[in-house]
Amino acid sequence: MNKSQYRVEIVTDLFVPIRDLDAPDCPSVTNDADRVVSELQDSVADLTHRRVFYQDLARVVDELLHKRGLFKGFAACSKGQREMLMEYLL
């Protein structure tokens, strides 16, 4: 199976925003969240104290919940969070 394609926009001490690239024949970040979070933990940054936010294909920003790099679910962002994150995801 193909894996989702995404771009890491920035890594800060508090969060990692990523953008789903909507690659043909690849699952979305939403449908590949377990692997995406694991890959971020292994290859990008220690997620222990970082939140992971993603922009989906409809340009909606949500959070990938995790515990030490293991995906635990999704959470909707507040309006303020979305506005702040859009500075990184434009």
Domain range summary for the chain, segments of one domain joined by +: 6-77
Joined together, the tokens standing for residue 52 give: 């992971």
* Sheet with 61-67, side-by-side order of all strands: 6-8, 15-20, 51-55, 61-67, 70-76
33 with 63: CB under 8 angstroms?
A: no
Tens digit of pLDDT per residue, the chain (90 long)?
Answer: 699 999 999 999 999 999 999 999 999 999 999 999 999 999 999 999 999 999 988 889 999 999 988 999 999 999 999 999 988 886
pLDDT at 89: 83
Contact predicate 35/3, CB 8 Å: yes
Contact 14, 39 (CB under 8 A): no
In the prediction, which pLDDT does 1 show? 66
